[in-house]
Amino acid sequence: MNPTIELLKSHRSIRKFTDQKIPHELLLELIRAGQAAATSSHIQAYTVIHVKNPANREKIAELAGGQAYVANASDFLVFCADMKRPTEASERTGANVVRGMTEQLLVASVDAALMAQNVAIAAESEGLGLCYIGGIRNNPQAVSDLLQLPKHVYPVFGMCLGYPAADPDVKPRLPVEAILKEDVYTDDSELVAAFDDAMLTYYGNRTGGNKETNWSRNLTPLFDSKLRAHMREFLVERGFEMK
């Protein structure tokens, strides 16, 4: 297998970092690599906020649910979906710009995610570790206020970057047969059941028997309590009206 595929398959979330700082020029190269990602119609509907202020890092760590590594990592980035820049650019040409379309929200969110994944891969190729922080959507308005985000821009997720101080195992993924379907969508419940057994073993080994759970059980809070019901109202207020 070639080194790029091996690198991609070896991804782990890193939450413990050394005190070593990422050189600024390397960070810029990671961002340039991110910009090389595919982008819908060359819109480049993203902005990245490099949060350097220690007090702001501490505040975001708190807002994200007490995730201390937001403050402790060498660098912390917030990836934003940005429809302000492209719509204003179009408007300056005299176009009759329509804002607030659902498609614009999707395009900007996908653009930001693709850009971030390029940054992640580039970072890991340089021996860095990272952890995505979706927890900033727990309090997206407070994060937006802190970062002074204008209308038509919203924070999608954060990313901790640094030199790893831990070497966790790669977390198993669903079998490819459950993900890759031929021609039509087919039932995969038996494959999920087998994956749950594998994850039960994984968590047991990782925690020395202190965590008895599986993939399906871990999903439960995402669909019955951690719903982030505030997101629709927040996005509408940001200018993403989903018309």
Q: How far apart are alpha carbons 153 and 132 in whole angstroms?
A: 19
Q: How far apart are alpha carbons 150 and 171 in whole angstroms?
A: 37
Domain ranges for the chain: 3-168+228-238, 171-212
The tens place of each residue's pLDDT in the chain, 243 residues long, gives: 799 999 999 999 999 999 999 999 999 999 999 999 999 999 999 999 999 999 999 999 999 999 999 999 999 999 999 999 999 999 999 999 999 999 999 999 999 999 999 999 999 999 999 999 999 999 999 999 999 999 999 999 999 999 999 999 999 999 999 999 999 999 999 999 999 999 999 999 988 878 899 999 999 999 999 999 999 999 999 999 999
CATH 3.20.20.70 holds for 3-168+228-238: no
Confidence at residue 207, expressed as pLDDT on a 0 to 100 scale: 81
Confidence at residue 178, expressed as pLDDT on a 0 to 100 scale: 97
Confidence at residue 127, expressed as pLDDT on a 0 to 100 scale: 98
Confidence at residue 65, expressed as pLDDT on a 0 to 100 scale: 97
